[in-house]
Structure 1
Amino acid sequence: MQAVHDERRRIERDLHDGVQQRLVALGMLLGRALRATDPAKTDALLRQAHEESAHARRCSADPSPAPTRCTGSRPGSATCRP
């Protein structure tokens, strides 16, 4: 029974960390977009920020314990699957 509880906690941490990494990446992208002087660079950064936001929403929308739904080891690397 303890193993099940431990695994559930690990999955919760993994899901939380994936969304948190996406939010950090989103903040970084928005900061870079604010400081960018080239309009094309600003547009590209805002598109990336929009993608990060959409991924974070998808990952957090369904809290069911699906450990393979949202994974990633660094900001911007997480992948979400339906």
Structure 2
Amino acid sequence: MRSIEQLTQEVLSLPNLTRAHLAQKLVESLAVDTDAIVAAARVDEASKLRDELRNGSIQPISGEEALSQVLHRLISSNEQT
């Protein structure tokens, strides 16, 4: 099996168009892994929030209140710039 260094040298010797195609394929392969990582992080965060709601360490708010808070923060951050 070739080492990373050997593979890198071989890939860098390819024509630009071929390297660009290979780079696109590599990025696409990472996107699948990234999607799984993001999905797992969302599940972890949702589980954490569920547990915090159940044990009373956080309190739920209405959708209307959530949107109001987001709007207030957006307006505040725009005023600072």
TM, length-normalised to structure 1 = 0.41
Structure number with the bigger relative contact order (C-alpha 8 A, sep ≥ 6) is 1
Larger relative strand fraction: 1
TM, length-normalised to structure 2 = 0.41
Larger relative helix fraction: 2
